[in-house]
Structure 1
Amino acid sequence: MKNKIKITGKTLIDLGFRSGKWFPEAIDFININQLEGEAMHAYLEQFKSPPIQDLHKESIPFAINIKAENELEEINVNSVITSMNTLMKTPTIVNGAIMPDACPTGPNGTIPVGGVVVAKNAIHPGMHSADICCSVMLTDFGKTEPKKVLDAAHKNTHFGPGGRDRDTQYRFPEELLKDFKGNYMLNNEKMIQAARSHLGTQGDGNHFLFIGISKNTGNTMMVTHHGSRGPGANLYSQGMKIAERFRKDLSPETLKQNAWIPFDTEEGQTYWEALQIIRKWTKTNHEVIHNTTLQALDIEALDRYWNEHNFVFKDKDLFYHAKGATPLNSKFMPDITGPRLIPLNMSEPVLIVEGETTTNNLGFAPHGAGRNVSRTQHKKSKTGTFQEIFEEETKGLDVRFYSNEIDISELPSAYKNAETVRNQMDEFGLGKVIDEVLPYGCIMAGDWQKNAPWKKRKKK
């Protein structure tokens, strides 16, 4: 009796299968069970890969809601447009836009800050970035003295790395804990510990706590700006790993930073649900800081609203990835209670806006003033001591750094010209300003790394 020919990996490749971890097990099963013909094809059906999705030959057109007004801005705008042109070849992408505060954030093909990218049935973790649900919340403190609010807030917030110690942690809501435990991407010790300890913290970088006066009412307003801290960063890391597995199988030509999770998969559904829970956590994070400040002053809020500007928003089968773009359209925010907030810099008003969706804004507005140069470049461009620069740029304001170390990369000159951003908002129809919170003072992390424990040890 003639020996049956054993199949190999080449046999499977010749049959149209893509090499994968399943190859050895499948080959052994077929050979041991002597499968052939229809029986072998029926067994292999379970391993069929979806067809490779090629990059678009041409970039999908996108709206450009930005104009360069000097040479420095021209370099910045050209870089943003070049990066978007590369990104817009990603197979899932159907539309996009860039805002007046747009600035590049990584290698070519990475979504810029101030970018909106619309994908069909796909979530791109790299397009909402690690700071998931970076957002702003406003509370109206009525006629309370601004300094009293700033002092009370200073005692109740927390800036810098890490979270709160056990003695200063806020109570973690039971309902939120149940949400975390009900989603396998969030239900692990590291994630839940970060969610507990980071509640009531604001991190570092450009995050702030701002106190100002409403131009319309004269009331004192508190505005906080921060994202999802450790829990969001942890989910982002998981999302990027999952998306990379899909990228290798579905679209190897797609850039790693633009990998996606198909929404119609178990992973896509679970990741989407996890994003909504992280959004809920982040909103709670704002609320505990605002509420404890109110309690410290024994007053009640007259009004409150918030919006994120770093998130993925769903409309039917379309996923709007906003990396530093403020949603104008209420369909993107199920819990909408008021207009939107656009902060500029510590010496400029926080803009309160509303607006209509158009073909060029896709339902979004800018999220702030953005940068023309990196933090390092900005620091190198300044002359004088940090104290001198600080005093000149914050004259008349009560500006505090939580670490007690000045961070000149967060001073007003580090950002784009606020008037330019406002003018371009008008020109491109990106929201109408209905009120302004005029600056009194703010708190930011400051240069916490200057006296970081590891630096002190190194000096010793």
Structure 2
Amino acid sequence: MTEPGFSRDSLRRIHDRLWEIPPDRVKGMLVPARFYASGAMLDQILSDRSLQQLVHVAMLPGIQRYALAMPDIHEGYGFPIGGVAAFDPEEGVISPGGIGYDINCGVRLLRSGVSHEDIRGRIQALADALYRSVPSGVGHGNRIRFGESELSSVLSEGAAAMIGFGYGKPEDLAGLESDGCTEQADPRALSRRARERGMDQLGTLGAGNHFIEVDRVGEVYDENAAALLGLFRGSVVIQVHTGSRGLGHQIASDYLKLMGEAMSRYDIRVPDRELACVPFVSEEGQEYFQAMNAAANFARANRQLITWEIRRGWERTVSADLPDVVCDICHNIASLERHGGRELLVHRKGATRAFPGRPVIVPGSMGTGSFLLIGSEHSLDEAFGSCCHGSGRRMSRSRARKTVHAGQLKQSLESSGIVVRAGSMKGLAEEAPGAYKDIHDVIGTVTAAGLASKVAFLEPLAVIKG
């Protein structure tokens, strides 16, 4: 399908930070395609295929109101990264391209209760301990082995299963999205290959943009909200960013192939094969939903085991007072939610929930800092309760490798006081701060649009990469 490119002139401005491609702009659109951006972001957004991908999402059967994207939008597989779309559960579809390969990739935030000043001299030792404690890198498995029955429990029960095995405490569940478990999971919907790939990957970080980061709370914008979350200026916190690893990737591969073959039976045609989909109510749609939720539970259990590993490293180097969970929120999932008085199937790919009063953690790139936000009522009204998930790439990984000298980057970060532990110089270059958009501009956009409000800014002290 050949489409015209998009320019500033082809966009309609809804309000200061919200733009729209009307449905009469491209044949086949069922609803408008909307995205949040500052004026400074537009040239970057218009330079890749992300808006074409968003327009394609607006053509999918059963889509409601509009296809939507957050200001960290960039080109992805099927949906653009940062994409949000809600479908009628009876008439609409489910698409693995709207969730992504790393199902329930997400971020967990831990609070320590200690000040950076109290442990300033132990940050390097802590970084070393975390790097040793948490296995990372492509293909790296955990030293802790789980059998078939334990894996089935994880796929069904999520983080609660891991706590039941002794890797955490019941209080950890209080801060987790969906209380650490999605009940619509069914381990029987997974292929043997998917189970095999996940067997030794619980408690592992992986590579790419996954990380553990030790931060200090640099600024507090909402004292009351920060206090309720147990945070104070100068306190040390830890972020964990990872997902369902090879298990989730295999589920996406399996069902993309299955749906690609099944679409003709349902008379579904899509403008891009990466948007392979089936009716949500179909047998294939329900099986994928069950498998996807099993992978989501796996990811929650994975971050729970990593939390236990972090606590071991913390105890060896800092204190016997172990970090507590603040929140755990994912950004690659589809879920049944009520919006506007009706149930909808909401796809979020590189976008997080931003429900009223709930914390939202938005990591920036290495060296730039991250934000803790609180979701708003307006987000429910305008964005299906959604917000951005990060700063968003502005440079491909291959271009970053060609542009950035990893050794110089590591030296620059460490000269600015950020300890870096990485298993791959190539991977480090791919995640350079310059490869990402300005986190302050992204956060300024979602707060100006009323999707969330700022609680705290987190300044990096140590970064652990696969």
The interval holding the TM-score normalised by the smaller chain is 0.7 to 0.9
| Match among 71, 77, 82 for residue 114 of structure 1 | 82
Structure 1 126/441 Cα, relative in aligned 2: closer, same or farther at 3 Å? same
Q: Aligned match of 1:103 in 67, 74, 85?
A: 74
Equivalent position to 2:293, from 276, 280, 287: 276
TM-score by length of 1: 0.75
Question: 1:404 and 1:433 mapped to 2: Cα distance?
Answer: 33
The equivalent position to 1:391 in structure 2, one of 411, 425, 430, is 411
Letter in 1 for 2:390: G
> What are the within-5 Å matches in structure 2 for residues 225-244 of structure 1?
225-244=241-260
Whole-angstrom distance in 1 between the partners of 2:42 and 2:383: 25
Q: Which residue of 2 aligns with 1:285?
A: 302
Q: Distance in 1 between matches of 2:406 and 2:153?
A: 47
Distance 1:82 1:405 in 2: 30
- Look up the match of 1:265: 282
Distance 1:179 1:262, change over 3 A: farther
- Structure 1 residue 197 displacement after superposition: 0.7
- Paired residues of 2:127 and 2:421 also in contact (CA < 8 A): no
Q: 1:213 aligns with which of 190, 213, 216?
A: 216
The number of aligned residues is: 376
Counterpart mapping for 1:40-55 below 5 A = none
SS at match of 2:451: coil
Give 3-state SS (helix, strand or coil) of 1:425's partner.
helix
Structure with greater strand share of residues: 2
CA distance in 1, matches of 2:310, 2:403: 38
Q: Deviations over 1:321-347 (max 9, x none)?
A: 1110011127xxxxx9x6121101111
Note if 1:89 corresponds to 2:70: no
Answer 1 or 2: higher relative contact order, Cα 8 Å, separation at least 6. 2
What residue in structure 1 maps to residue 201 of structure 2? 198
Correspondence 1:52-71 to 2 at 5 A:
57-69=28-40
Matched, 1:140 2:132: no
Q: 189, 210, 227: which is aligned to 1:185?
A: 189
Deviation at 1:408, TM superposition (A): 1.4
Structure 2: gaps (5+ residues): 1-25, 157-185, 221-231
**2:351 is the alignment partner of 1:348:** no
State the shift of 1:436 in Å: 2.3
* 2:130 matched residue in structure 1: 153
Share of identical aligned residues, percent? 23
Q: Which residue of 1 aligns with 2:440?
A: 419
Rounded to whole Å, the distance in 2 between the matches of 1:56 and 1:198 is 44
Residues 1:70 and 1:136: Cα distance change in structure 2 (over 3 Å): closer
Counterpart in the other structure of 1:39: none
Q: Which residue matches 2:383?
A: 361
8 Å contact from structure 1 (residues 114, 367) kept in 2: yes
Distance apart, 1:148 and its partner CA: 4.4
> Are the aligned partners of 1:393 and 1:411 in contact in 2 as well (CA < 8 Å)?
no
Aligned partner letter, 1:66: A
Deviation at 1:243, TM superposition (A): 1.7
In the alignment, the residues of structure 2 paired with residue 422 and residue 192 of structure 1 have an alpha-carbon distance, to the nearest angstrom, of 38
Match of 2:101 among 115, 130, 139: 130
Give the 3 Å change call, closer, same or farther, for CA 252–272 of structure 1 in structure 2. Answer: closer
> CA separation in 2, counterparts of 1:187 and 1:86?
29
For structure 1, list consecutive stretches of 5 or more residues without a partner in the other structure: 1-54, 331-335, 446-460
1:415-442 residue CA offsets vs partner (Å, 9 max, x unmatched): 1112211221222222111122221010
What is the aligned-residue RMSD (CA, Å)? 2.7
Give yes or no for the alignment of 1:318 onto 2:288.
no
Q: 1:315 to 1:74 in 2, by over 3 A?
A: closer
User: Structure 2: which amino acid aligns with 1:392?
Assistant: S
Which deviations, in whole Å up to 9, do the C-alpha atoms of 1:133-167 show, x marking residues without a partner? Answer: 110011112217344442321111122111326xx
Which structure has the larger Rg over C-alpha atoms? 1
Distance 1:262 1:75, change over 3 A: closer
Superposed CA offset, 1:203-259 (max 9, x none): 111111100112351322111111111110111112212322331222353132222
Distance 2:249 2:266 in 1: 25
- Normalization by structure 2: what TM-score? 0.74
* Structure 1 match to 2:395: 373
Contact 2:45–2:73 under 8 Å retained in 1: no
State the SS of the aligned residue for 2:113: coil
Quote the residue 1:23 is aligned against.
Answer: none
**Using a 3 Å threshold, how does the CA distance of structure 1 residues 209 and 257 change in structure 2: closer, same or farther?**
same
C-alpha separation between the residues in 1 aligned to 2:285 and 2:46? 37
Number of the residue aligned with 2:167: none
Compared CA separation, residues 280 and 173, structure 1 to 2 (3 A): farther
- The CA deviation at 1:303 is 3.6
Task: Identify the match of residue 408 of structure 1 among 429, 434, 437.
Answer: 429
